[in-house]
Structure 1
Amino acid sequence: MEIQKFVVDDRDEGLRVDVYLSNQLDHVSRSFIQKLIEQGNVMINGSKEKLKKYKVQENDEIAVEIPDPEILKIEPENIPIDIVYEDDDVIVVNKPQGMVVHPAPGNYHGTLVNALLYHCKTLSSINGVIRPGIVHRIDKDTSGLLMVAKNDRAHRCLAEQLKEHSINRIYIALVHGNIKEERGTINAPIGRHPVDRLKMAVVAKNGKEAVTHFAVLKRFHDYTLIQAKLETGRTHQIRVHMAYMHHPLVGDPVYGIKKEKFHIEGQALHAQTLGFVHPSTGQYMEFYAELPPYFTKIIKIIENISGQR
């Protein structure tokens, strides 16, 4: 049983308790928090009574008892994966669009982790049975490079590089509209959407620092091909930032345009370049993954529409 404690400050006064806690515990869903409240796992100022619609006040002391996670056995599966690099510490994979990185409730099979367990036999244990070896993630419908740690020492080293923003992560994205600037930086905090808890958004309150650098690669009539470099790594960061700039990603089912011309399964976003310092040798290593067929196909269609080559 894990116990988390919080003291409400004036900025959060008036939020309903489940909303407040979902902001504080961003790895836990709001529905799970509501279930904890119903089960008596949340106390405010020592009381568990009448908390369902309670709105927090400044200096409220909140304690949350989070039950130990259900012990799950994630099975290795013989799923083909595109391995770009591998040694005793690290494996770099070019993940296809449509593949989930790690198991989650209701989706315990067919993930990259299932495939890695079959191929590698052992992965780092830091993130537990659900996310063994996973240092960072990319969305299901984002393709491209992902680094995975084979042991805990390598995992800690790579995680520290992520924390220090020293890992080179460059994405290619196709966005709606014509971006006028040649390059720019989006510095806008990202947090849970205040209304739709399944989405992220640029928020002034309870947001975490998020910085994306972008550069225009090519302009089409109604679209722009960009390179986006992550300085931070918030959930859906590039997708949220480009939508915030009124240039949502083509095909994005969450933050994009509803009536999309291109019938693709998800956003046109590809993690093309990944660079990091090797945890054992101390040498900088950089990897590159060509744009996958789904992405190049869309570009050709747009070139034909706009008369560009």
Structure 2
Amino acid sequence: MMQTEEFTVTTTERLDKLVAEQVDNISRSQAKSAIEAGQITVNGAAAKPKDKPKPGDTVHIELPDPEPLDLEPENIPLDVVYEDDDVLVVNKPQGMVVHPAPGHPNHTLVNALLYHSPLSSINGTLRPGIVHRIDKDTSGLLMVAKNDHAHQSLSAQLQAKTNLREYVAIVHGNFKEEEGVIRAPLGRSPKDRKKQAVVADGRPAVTHFRVLERYGNYTLIACRLETGRTHQIRVHMAYINHPVAGDPLYGPKKTLKGDGQFLHARELGFKQPTTGEQLDFTAPVPDNFARMVRHLRQQAGLPVDKAI
């Protein structure tokens, strides 16, 4: 079997870069290899990675279907905050991918969860139990369904916007306001398919924010999600010119040094699927986040050791 795709060139760029920007789940190095293997052509003719097709040219791609991922349980330590017969709440570390995907076939949170517990089957074989996700380099709380009944209940709560999902973030700049709401629709960026962006025809996205501390060039904020779009907080903050510090995708090159964005899912609340009891959880920020806050407080002349 082959997967095929075709697009019309609109900008003058190297072919390998164009393909990586236009086609999901293909890196530039993968595009280069596919071009060299003759799997990517321009106007029906073979090409080189460095070639620059002209606007109006047609790029045709024929790639063999990827090998199916073999999802194996793995004995990876988990920070389980809560567990009952229906749900798990885990505190995901920064740097861990939630579920297998091209480039991340194993060592994910799902691999660890499969070793720990039975999971719901609603999302199929690659995302069992996963009701919502957080980015690889975002840390914090995630709810996981252990059976299909729980999965349906938790998904319905997300749709009804009755869950509590609050994050803390260090962002660039100093807010003029104490709190606010960002209402800006999100969709795939027309300029870079690896990114999300505020686009007129995007899906509705709403983020509530409030200032916790000011450090001059940086601000510590809390963000509550009303919707849960891909990269929502990161894109919304960049949209209002306060990108998340350390964000390699949406932030500036000159930023705080860390292992990715300083963004942590601190609070999570939902109703237990069987009993209806309200469950609320809090997870402290990871050590690297706490050290950065202490550093910024020290620079700003604020008390260093109070709770975040």
TM-score by length of 2: 0.78
Rounded Cα–Cα distance in structure 1 between residues aligned with 2:208 and 2:285: 20
Is the Cα–Cα contact under 8 Å of residues 18 and 30 in structure 1 kept in the other structure? Answer: no
Q: Do residues 92 (structure 1) and 89 (structure 2) align?
A: yes
Structure-2 separation of matches of 1:18 and 1:132? 38
Answer yes or no: is 1:31 the counterpart of 2:23. yes
Cα pair 1:83 1:91 within 8 Å, conserved: yes
Q: How far is the alpha carbon of 1:109 from its aligned partner? A: 1.5
CA distance, structure 2, for counterparts of residue 69 and residue 152 of structure 1: 28
* Gaps in structure 2 of 5+ consecutive residues: 2-6, 11-20, 32-38, 41-55, 304-308
Q: Does structure 1 residue 228 correspond to structure 2 residue 223?
A: yes
1:33, CA displacement in angstroms? 10
2:203 equivalent to 1:212: no
Instruction: Give the TM-score taking structure 1 as reference length.
Output: 0.78
Partners in 2 of 1:226 and 1:158 — Cα distance?
Answer: 27
SS at match of 1:170: strand
Return closer, same or farther for 1:52/1:151 CA change in 2, 3 Å cut-off: farther
Per the alignment, residue 70 of structure 2 pairs with 73
Instruction: Please state how far the C-alpha of 1:292 moved relative to its aligned partner.
Output: 1.2
The answer for the alignment partner of 1:257 in structure 2 is 252
CA distance in 2, matches of 1:98, 1:33: 19
For 1:119 and 1:175, the matched residues in 2 are separated by 35
Task: Render the CA deviation track for 1:220-278: whole Å, top value 9, x for unaligned.
Answer: 11111111000000000000000000000110000111022x32111000100000011
- Check 1:70–1:127 CA distance in 2 against 1; reply closer, same or farther (3 A cut): farther
Q: Tell me, in whole angstroms, the C-alpha distance in 1 between the residues paired with 2:87 and 2:154.
A: 9
Selected match of 1:272 from 253, 266, 277? 266
* In structure 1, distance between residues paired with 2:24 and 2:205: 26
- Report the 3-state secondary structure (helix = DSSP H, G, I; strand = E; otherwise coil) of the residue aligned with 2:130: coil
Indicate conservation of the 8 Å contact 2:270/2:280, yes or no: yes
Write out per-residue CA displacement over residues 167-221 of structure 1, whole angstroms, 9 at most, x where no aligned residue.
Answer: 11000011010001111000000111111110111111x3110000001111111
In structure 1, stretches of 5+ residues that fail to align are 2-15, 20-28, 40-50, 55-66
Q: CA deviation at 1:69?
A: 8.5
Verify the 8 A CA contact 1:73 1:129 in the aligned structure 2: no
Q: Which residue of 2 aligns with 1:48?
A: none
2 CA distance for matches of 1:304 and 1:86?
A: 38
> Aligned residues, how many?
258
Residue pair 2:25, 2:102 contacting (<8 A) in 1 also:
no
Closer/same/farther in 2, CA of residues 207 and 93 from structure 1, 3 Å limit:
same
1:241 pairs, out of 236, 241, 246, with 236
